[in-house]
Chains A and B, each alone.
Chain A
Amino acid sequence: MIKFQNVTKTYKGTTVALRDFSIEIEKGEFAFLVGPSGSGKTTFIRLLLREETPDRGRIWEAGKDIGHLAKWRIPYLRRNIGCVFQDYRLLPNKTVFENVAFALEVIGRPKHVIAAQVPQILSEVGLTKKANNLPHELSGGEQQRVAVARAFVNRPLILLADEPTGNLDPETSLGIMRLMEEINKRGTTVVIATHDAGMVDAMRRRVIELDKGVLIRDQAHGVYGIDSATAAAGAGSPTGLALDVDRRPPSGPMEPLT
């Protein structure tokens, strides 16, 4: 579903955001992207959204080599990707319903489709009662649920999240994570960039760790950092210290996934 092959991205020629970075994330996977600020997590997401292009290397997404995507096709690529941010990015003058409906309107979905899909997704994220509220009338967690609903209403193949719980307390964060898990269960590939250690430790999913743009760890059922991994192992975690760092060279172009 997502494949980076020897991708290097620098800003203004000096700041290295990603260095010779290769990774493969299969369809239906749930992965955390961890690392300190400036480690390249956000660049990873921006590359997938085609807001940036790599200096070197190739990126496949949903079966397409997005490095060679014509400009006019970018919007159609983005329709396959849902994206959630730390700051929710809701439109303050639109209600919850309108915010979610907007995502469908601007890609030209007919009215009857909007009328059917928006209430459905709102009930899935548990916001049916708040449909006519404005964003500022909601709590942070509720606002992020609206953002998730907006990202997922079009049933994208991939859901990306950049620090989705950065502004939320641990309990609310867990709710958002459970929601992401639900979405993942429906077959959508989920990638979450975060430095929320507690969340990563609690979820025990694949962890991809970056430091200064370099892949330093790729672990199947990982925890946030080596220290917490050791701590978890000491506490008798079932996964233990299974560090299976994956630095295999990519095995050719990815199969097209539809």
Chain B
Amino acid sequence: MAVSPTYVTKEATTNLWRNRLMTTAAILTVAVSLALVGSSLLLKQGAAKATVQWQNKVDVIVWVKPTAPVAQTTAVGSQLRQSPYIQTCQFRSQRYDYNEARTVVAPDEFAATTLADYPSSYRCTLVDPSQAPAVYQQFIGQPGVSEVSYPGQQIKTMQSVIHILQWVFLSVAIVLLLSASVLIFNTIRMAIFARRREVAVMKLVGATNWFIRLPFMAEGLIQGLLGAVMAVLVVLGVYWGLGLDVQKTAANQSSIIAQMALSGWEVSSTCIAVAVVGVAVGVVGSYLAVRRFLEV
């Protein structure tokens, strides 16, 4: 027997409203846990992206002390060009970085800096990206060189941080998802209890199991879905808030966030995953309650 969707929706929304306090708790728990799941998915994808970029086009940056005389600076430059590891090298003057900072850094922070704060640097592409540490060994401590950095280093640190964050997020999310299921299970149980007379009469006059079950399951589904919608908003907030939507450009290429930039498709698939998990939690929680408390 077909069950009318109008009937199911009407009954489900009536139940939700009758039990709104528990419903709110369940929805919020779903939202928080899914927001964590979604954010950790974003981080994971970002980290993978950054790793790929590093492997494709690594920049070793040799920072020259701002106080170094011109002769030392050019000596470093010629050594770099002679190094067998290096493919190309580009010199960036203090003025260049200073001007770039003007566009990137917040105006009040920028005002507190002077030209001398921006060391000039050599940005190099390597023949083999994995040899970055060797370049580091060669140039660190050279006269006039203040620091040798390669984004791979930053990315590796970032990766391990992200890795730990992911596990923390995911384990918290799993605990929260479990409690969300239990909360949904409980709201459905209360809804069934509140309607036990109707249910008893329905069984007595021969309503089918699915006719009795579906409104309660729809109730769980709606809770999961509403929680997922809130979580999707949080995920999008993280995406735009962190600037993960800004694709890598010449101006921001040294920024880790830019290395992690994600496409619209990647974000929407994350959101879809979040929505699917939300619906699944709602349906599973309510199905268990219905199985347990509605048997003929």
Which residues on A are within 8 Å of B, measured CB to CB? 49, 71-72, 74-79, 81, 83, 89, 91-92, 102-103, 106-108, 150, 154
- Since A79-B205, A91-B201, A102-B198 are in contact, a sample of 16 more A-B pairs with Cβ atoms closer than 8 Å, ordered by chain A residue number, is A72-B208, A75-B203, A75-B209, A78-B203, A78-B204, A78-B205, A78-B206, A79-B206, A81-B206, A89-B197, A89-B204, A103-B201, A106-B206, A107-B205, A108-B211, A150-B201
- A71-B296, A89-B200 known; A150-B211 Cβ under 8 A: no
Which residues on B are within 8 Å of A, measured CB to CB? 1-3, 197-198, 200-209, 211-212, 296
Residue in B197, B206, B212 with the greatest tally of chain A CB atoms within 10 Å: B206
- Nearest CB of B to A148, in Å: 13
- A71-B296, A91-B198, A91-B201 known; A107-B207 Cβ under 8 A: yes
Q: How far is the CA of A195 from the CA of B1 in the complex (A)?
A: 39
- A78-B205, A83-B204 known; A108-B1 Cβ under 8 A: yes
Whether the Cβ atoms of B202 and A74 lie closer than 8 Å is no
Complex partner residue of A77 from B2, B3, B206, B212, CB under 8 angstroms: B206
Complex partner residue of A154 from B200, B205, B208, B209, CB under 8 angstroms: B205
- Nearest CB of B to A105, in Å: 8
Q: How far is the CA of A31 from the CA of B58 in the complex (A)?
A: 93
12 contacts between A and B (CB under 8 A): A49-B204, A72-B209, A77-B206, A78-B204, A79-B205, A91-B201, A92-B197, A103-B205, A106-B201, A107-B211, A150-B205, A154-B206
Q: How far is the CA of A81 from the CA of B198 in the complex (A)?
A: 18
* Interfacial chain A residues near B201, Cβ < 8 Å: 89, 91, 102-103, 106, 150
Q: How far is the CA of A41 from the CA of B209 in the complex (A)?
A: 27
* Interfacial chain A residues near B2, Cβ < 8 Å: 108
* Interfacial chain A residues near B3, Cβ < 8 Å: 108
- Nearest CB of B to A111, in Å: 11
- Nearest CB of B to A248, in Å: 33
- Nearest CB of A to B236, in Å: 42
Q: How far is the CA of A108 from the CA of B207 in the complex (A)?
A: 8
* Interfacial chain B residues near A78, Cβ < 8 Å: 203-206
Look across to chain A and name the residue whose beta carbon is closest to the beta carbon of B204: A83
* Interfacial chain B residues near A49, Cβ < 8 Å: 204
Q: How far is the CA of A95 from the CA of B250 in the complex (A)?
A: 74
Q: How far is the CA of A91 from the CA of B204 in the complex (A)?
A: 13
* Interfacial chain A residues near B207, Cβ < 8 Å: 75, 106-107
Whether the Cβ atoms of B208 and A75 lie closer than 8 Å is yes
Q: How far is the CA of A108 from the CA of B201 in the complex (A)?
A: 14
Look across to chain B and name the residue whose beta carbon is closest to the beta carbon of A77: B206
Whether the Cβ atoms of A107 and B296 lie closer than 8 Å is no
Q: How far is the CA of A150 from the CA of B201 in the complex (A)?
A: 10
Look across to chain B and name the residue whose beta carbon is closest to the beta carbon of A83: B204
Whether the Cβ atoms of A76 and B206 lie closer than 8 Å is yes
Look across to chain A and name the residue whose beta carbon is closest to the beta carbon of B199: A106
Q: How far is the CA of A49 from the CA of B203 in the complex (A)?
A: 10
Considering the complex of A and B, which 9 residue pairs feature the smallest CB-CB distances, nearest first? A78-B206, A79-B206, A106-B207, A103-B205, A75-B206, A75-B208, A106-B202, A108-B1, A107-B206
Q: How far is the CA of A53 from the CA of B202 in the complex (A)?
A: 20
Residue in B2, B212, B296 with the greatest tally of chain A CB atoms within 10 Å: B296
- Nearest CB of B to A31, in Å: 21
Residue in B203, B205, B206, B212 with the greatest tally of chain A CB atoms within 10 Å: B205
Q: How far is the CA of A150 from the CA of B200 in the complex (A)?
A: 14
- Nearest CB of B to A193, in Å: 16
Q: How far is the CA of A74 from the CA of B197 in the complex (A)?
A: 19
